[in-house]
Amino acid sequence: MELVPLTKYNYLKAVKLCVAPEQEKFVGTVADAIADAHFCDDCEMRALEVNREFVGFIMWQGPHLSRLLIDCHHQRKGYGTMAVKLFIETFPGRQVTLQTKVDNTAAIALYTNLGFKSIADHGGAVYMVR
């Protein structure tokens, strides 16, 4: 897997990534993320590329993972796990953080498998650190 920066040449491919309808409540679209990043000085966005195909999207702000999605055609292949490992490796020796919805059991399982611990939950969100 490669973490590919978004450019004017490839961003439309990333915008086409989507999740299953029942997962839409857990994550915004890639288009939303691009809009957010436009107003955020230190947000980093990457497409997740496997065999020359975009299979997902990740965004972070410093050592905080702010968005992750794997396209519904490519889930359960280990790509989400690979992407989070690459994010962690971007901040060697640093504590990394994230927030997810309390009912996002798939994401919580993925993060827990990678050593994240829940430190708080509030307003339907769980805060995790590693």
- Chain contacts with ligand COA (rule: CB under 6 A): 19, 23, 26-27, 68-70, 75-81, 100, 104-107, 109-110, 113
Q: What's the rounded Cα separation, in Å, for the pair 114 and 130? A: 8
**Distance in angstroms between the alpha carbons of the first and the last residue of the chain:** 22
In the complex, least distance from residue 25 CB atom to ligand COA, rounded to whole angstroms: 9
Q: Based on CB atoms, which residue is closest to ligand COA, 8 or 21?
A: 21
The single-letter code of the amino acid at 18 is C
Using CB positions, name the residue nearest to ligand COA: 80
In the complex, least distance from residue 67 CB atom to ligand COA, rounded to whole angstroms: 7
Q: Based on CB atoms, which residue is closest to ligand COA, 93 or 123?
A: 123
In the complex, least distance from residue 38 CB atom to ligand COA, rounded to whole angstroms: 21
Number of other CB atoms surrounding residue 103 within 10 Å = 11
Question: Going along the chain, which residue ranges are E strands?
Answer: 2-5, 43-50, 53-61, 64-70, 97-101, 117-122, 125-129
